[in-house]
Chain A
Amino acid sequence: MITFRDMPLRRKLIASILLTSVVVMLLMCGAFFAYELFAMRRTTVRQVSTLGEITATNLTGALAFKDPSDAQEILAALKAEHYVAAAAVYDEDGGIFASYPQSVAKDALPSSPLAAGYRFEESYLDGFQPIMERERQLGTLYLKFDTGVVMREWLWSSLWIASAAIAFVFIVAYLLSRALQKQIARPILDLGVTAQRISDRQDFSIRAAKHGQDEIGQLSDSFNEMLAGIEDRELALRAANDALRAENVERHQAQQQLARAQKMEAVGQLTGGLAHDFNNILGAIIGNLDIARENIAPESAASGYCDAALDAALSAAELVKRLLAFSRRQPLHPQATDLVEVVAGVKPLLERTLGEQVHITTASETAGWLAMADPVQIESAILNLAINARDAMPGGGDLRIELKSVTVDAIYASAAEDLKIADYVLLSISDNGTGMPPEIAARAFDPFFTTKAPGAGSGLGLSMVIGTVKQLGGTAKIYSEVGIGTTVQLYLPRALDAQPTRSSLQASEAAIGGNERILLVEDNAQIRGVSAGALGSLGYDVIVAENADEALRLIDDGLTFDLLFTDVVMSGRLNGIALARELRRRNADIHILLTSGFSSPISAGGDLGELEAAFMTKPYRKADLARRIRALLDEDKR
């Protein structure tokens, strides 16, 4: 059962109007009928007296000429007025002359006429009417009205009229209210629909239509103002939320980068530490093998073994060097480099290394830009990538090496990780090999990650490449698609205001010796022995010390040296750098060459600062050592 309160607004309005109309109509009808009832007695009396007068007038002839049948006939005409219950005509003498209806009992009528006029008696109205002809009374008419019949008839007709009127008013009110309720209900319903739509769609830009200046119009205005407020706040909230989300993403990326950097740092420290110890060991092996070779007849079987061992040791040294490069502890010598020259220089080597099945093409649009790079490392990177490409093309294919000048703008920089707004020389190496699925491509730069068979690759190739490139201030990107091929892009920063330096591949010509006096300080007895042997064989006058204090004592004893060749990390009071400083303080003329298993004096735990000293990484070949020492000693002659 729907109560009025739960009815829809439209129906509520219609119902209210209908109810009001019907109640008003009922009240009006009630008032009207009350008045009618009161007036009806008067009306009935008037009606009866009129009827009486007419009848009486007609009766004069009959009375005057004593014709009761005519009188009877006239009275019979009263039949038309069916509420006339009885009538009678009395003659001049008061006797009944005629009566109606004819069957009426004489004693039911007054025996003689009374005074003129009508009186109500119970449910009847009766009375006497003189029958006059020109001032002369010829007789009297008696009329008896059944007011009950009149009342009933009136009641019925009144009810009919009232019902009809109420029905008519009901219909008219219904039609009118249907039309009018729209004026009232529609703005409210529209407002409701708008509110519903807003809450459904959460779209606060919708506005309610205003229909007029009434309270609902004001409500619409307030509603719209409220919506505007909500919309503003919503937009502000959304903007804040977007900013927060962007910040979150950035933070997440930064965290990932940091985590990666920390991982790399940890791996770098580990490898750096390992490399130092390895280098010392390899230094001893290589040094001893070098010396051994010189003491063995070149054609003997032992010499061949010696060479093989030396090759193996050098390979190990190379591996350690890669580890150091990966952990960025390999000292780089960035210089303005024309990569076109580097590529041209490395191309013949690639052709020999990759074999005839791989067709190499190169292209360059560098616009003469130079890259800030270490040519040796770049050659190594190209070689590394080329070998990977060859491995990805087991049946042969195309290898394309491209150089391009690229300017990274703000939009590109925001889209690409690791790229700054700057000029780069882009080195791309593409193959049309098997390619990699995305999940493998994503990990391709991770250290120790390899898809090659165990023993076939170290997993350090690509990570070394990216390590090198990042150390140079660039970045590397990899694009790969299974079945199409792989492209590795190296972004190398452009070198500004610089002339290209000739790349100098190390010459392995015969060692050059000398006769100067060298102070060799090395706490590792093996290396000390090997190095002393090597330098001695080159003709130098070598005096050795186990540590810094011993070295200083020798100098205090009055010995003079042309060059100090010292390990950096040593047991004792002073390390190599401190010793070098002390010597510089005492005698600035001495040449100093520092050496360490670490890739730089800084990672070895010291800082050269303003100290004038050269540095050399362990392990080293005798020839390298000879060249460096000769170069240092020859500085004075220039």
Chain B
Amino acid sequence: MTEVFARRLKPGRLLPWLCLAVLLLSCAGGLCVAAEERSTQEYQVKAVFLFNFTQFVDWPPESFSGVDQPIVIGVLGDDPFGTYLDETVRGEKVNDRPLIIRRFRYGDDVGACHVLFISQSETSRLDQIIAGLHGRSILTVSDIPAFGRRGGMIRFVTENSRVKLRINADAAKAAGLTLSSKLLRIADIVSAGTE
């Protein structure tokens, strides 16, 4: 963005433009910082949401090998949460199960997990990833556009700086997951074909 402005400046009338440029730059810089900050805040909310999903979703018993086995939240692709996700789940327990964050580089690597956040970096491979997860009781969450239509379960939609949920309940049901009605009532419900 900074480059766009710079390209339009002419050398002869540099000073006033420079002044303007400096002003604009500072503004733009502020904007960039604001955007950056907003993005960070957004992912902080999303991290809390990821954690909160564990409280509104029931997994089939076979998803856990033991009574006190942890609930695993996986992040596939580039991790947009930084340390925040880890901080969010640290020390928390849901149904007496501790929470663990696991990160996966590729879709094929996705191991045992209960919630899987698919990063925007995986947008192009999404179909394979969804196909690869078929038959596993994993709650798929992403902020990739048309995530639901493409077979994902919960999509984060940011509207007016607010993170909203769009849920493909059929997909979750197909995966053997039970979503709480409280979760469903605050979300927009979509199906695989309609988003």
* With contact pairs A133-B56, A134-B94, A136-B55 given, residues A61 and B45 touching in the complex (Cβ less than 8 Å): no
* With contact pairs A133-B56, A136-B55 given, residues A65 and B183 touching in the complex (Cβ less than 8 Å): yes
A67: CB under 8 A from chain B?
yes
B165: CB under 8 A from chain A?
yes
- Cβ contact of A134, chosen from B55, B185, B186, cutoff 8 A: B55
CB within 8 Å of A: which B154-187 residues: 162-165, 180, 182-183, 185-187
What residue of chain B has the Cβ atom nearest to residue A60's Cβ?
Answer: B182
- In the complex, what distance in Å separates the CA atom of A67 from the CA atom of B183? 11
B residues less than 8 Å from A136 (CB atoms) = 55, 92, 94
- Cβ contact of B56, chosen from A58, A64, A66, A67, cutoff 8 A: A64
- In the complex, what distance in Å separates the CA atom of A65 from the CA atom of B184? 11
B residues less than 8 Å from A57 (CB atoms) = 182
- In the complex, what distance in Å separates the CA atom of A133 from the CA atom of B182? 10
- In the complex, what distance in Å separates the CA atom of A468 from the CA atom of B187? 155
A residues less than 8 Å from B186 (CB atoms) = 61-62, 65, 67, 70
A residues less than 8 Å from B185 (CB atoms) = 61, 70
- In the complex, what distance in Å separates the CA atom of A67 from the CA atom of B185? 10
- Cβ contact of B163, chosen from A60, A66, A135, cutoff 8 A: A66
A residues less than 8 Å from B48 (CB atoms) = 66
A residues less than 8 Å from B55 (CB atoms) = 60, 64, 133-134, 136
B43: CB under 8 A from chain A?
no
- In the complex, what distance in Å separates the CA atom of A62 from the CA atom of B92? 20
CB within 8 Å of B: which A310-362 residues: none
Q: Is A65 a contact of B95 with CB atoms below 8 Å?
A: no
- In the complex, what distance in Å separates the CA atom of A476 from the CA atom of B185? 140
- In the complex, what distance in Å separates the CA atom of A133 from the CA atom of B51? 12
B residues less than 8 Å from A134 (CB atoms) = 55, 94-95
B52: CB under 8 A from chain A?
yes
Task: Kindly state the interface size class of chain A when it binds its partner.
Answer: 10 to 19
Q: Counting chain B CB atoms within 10 Å of each CB, which of A65, A66, A70 scores highest?
A: A65
What residue of chain A has the Cβ atom nearest to residue B182's Cβ?
Answer: A61
A249 to B: closest C-beta gap in Å: 120
A residues less than 8 Å from B162 (CB atoms) = 66
> Hey, what's the 0/1 contact readout for B22-63 against A, CB within 8 Å counting as 1?
000000000000000000000001001100100110000000
> Hey, what's the 0/1 contact readout for A58-80 against B, CB within 8 Å counting as 1?
10111011110010000000000
> Hey, what's the 0/1 contact readout for A595-618 against B, CB within 8 Å counting as 1?
000000000000000000000000
CB within 8 Å of A: which B83-111 residues: 92-95
What residue of chain A has the Cβ atom nearest to residue B181's Cβ?
Answer: A61
What residue of chain B has the Cβ atom nearest to residue A65's Cβ?
Answer: B186
- In the complex, what distance in Å separates the CA atom of A70 from the CA atom of B186? 6
A66 to B: closest C-beta gap in Å: 7
B residues less than 8 Å from A135 (CB atoms) = 93
- Cβ contact of A66, chosen from B45, B180, B183, cutoff 8 A: B45
- In the complex, what distance in Å separates the CA atom of A426 from the CA atom of B163? 155
What residue of chain A has the Cβ atom nearest to residue B183's Cβ?
Answer: A61
Q: Is B165 a contact of A65 with CB atoms below 8 Å?
A: yes
A residues less than 8 Å from B165 (CB atoms) = 65
A residues less than 8 Å from B187 (CB atoms) = 65
- In the complex, what distance in Å separates the CA atom of A57 from the CA atom of B55? 13
CB within 8 Å of A: which B123-163 residues: 162-163
- In the complex, what distance in Å separates the CA atom of A64 from the CA atom of B95? 16
Q: Counting chain A CB atoms within 10 Å of each CB, which of B45, B95, B165, B185 scores highest?
A: B185
B residues less than 8 Å from A65 (CB atoms) = 49, 52, 163, 165, 183, 186-187
> Hey, what's the 0/1 contact readout for A29-60 against B, CB within 8 Å counting as 1?
00000000000000000000000000001101
Top 6 closest A-B pairs, CB basis? Answer: A61-B182, A64-B52, A67-B186, A70-B186, A61-B186, A133-B55
CB pairs A–B below 8 angstroms (10 shown):
A60-B55, A65-B163, A65-B183, A66-B45, A66-B163, A67-B164, A67-B186, A70-B186, A133-B182, A136-B92
Residue numbers of B with Cβ under 8 A of A are: 45, 48-49, 52, 55-56, 92-95, 162-165, 180, 182-183, 185-187
Given contacts A60-B182, A133-B56, 8 further A-B contacts (CB under 8 A): A58-B182, A61-B180, A64-B52, A64-B56, A65-B52, A66-B45, A67-B186, A133-B182
